[in-house]
């Protein structure tokens, strides 16, 4: 093929294989009898890396700026990958993003008394607020706790400006 045309063939990218074993422009296919378009694993890894970068605990960026940057990135990403037939993945990404943001909030409330005060302000009973506010669990683990899941839920983050990736996906699929 290289002899007949002036183009060079990239040996790493060019191959003949089953559709579910190959990726094309960030997409792949499922193995089902009726194959569905899915997001390629490499694209998912890049998305998760970008989310980790934007929600890093070590960067002293205000939460509003983080949410704004996340919304910008995720709007474009969802616009491109809305073609995929995998709504469950979009829900998983939403959960991951909210957990990372809860982790950031928890770290921002550094001292136990601040955590107790903030939890009480969010409507947690005094005993539970004291119990969880004085917990010695690590940030990532506490971000998945039932107490933070209930208090820093979807409505909390939507009020702070975070747009749901799954809702964008559903909107784009309907139009």
Q: What is the dihedral of CA 99, 82, 12, 2, to 10 degrees?
A: -160
Q: Write the pLDDT tens digit of every residue in 115-157.
A: 999 999 999 999 999 999 999 999 999 999 999 999 999 999 9
pLDDT on residue 116? 95
pLDDT on residue 52? 94
Q: Given a cut of 80, is residue 18 above it in pLDDT?
A: no
The partner residues of 38 in beta bridges, in order of sequence, read: 28
Q: Given a cut of 70, is residue 20 above it in pLDDT?
A: no
Helices 87-108 and 165-174 meet at what angle, rounded to 10? Answer: 150
Q: Write the pLDDT tens digit of every residue in 51-73.
A: 999 999 888 899 999 999 999 99
Token pair for 102: 């809860």
């Amino acid at each position: 093929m290289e002899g007949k045309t002036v183009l060079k063939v990239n040996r790493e990218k060019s191959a003949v294989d089953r559709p579910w074993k190959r990726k094309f422009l960030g997409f792949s296919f499922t193995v089902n009898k009726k194959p569905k378009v899915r997001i390629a694993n490499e694209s998912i890894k890049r998305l998760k890396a970008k989310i980790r970068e934007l929600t890093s605990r070590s960067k002293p960026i205000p939460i509003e700026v983080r949410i704004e940057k996340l919304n910008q990135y995720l709007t474009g990403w969802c616009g491109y990958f809305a073609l995929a037939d995998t709504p469950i993945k979009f829900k998983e990404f939403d959960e991951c993003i909210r957990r990372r943001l809860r982790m950031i909030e928890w770290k921002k409330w550094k001292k136990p008394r601040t955590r107790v005060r903030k939890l009480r302000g969010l409507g947690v009973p005094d005993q539970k607020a004291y119990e969880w506010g004085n917990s010695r669990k690590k940030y990532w683990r506490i971000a998945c706790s039932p107490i933070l899941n209930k208090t820093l839920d979807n409505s909390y983050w939507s009020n702070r400006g975070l747009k749901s990736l799954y809702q964008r996906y559903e909107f784009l699929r309907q139009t």
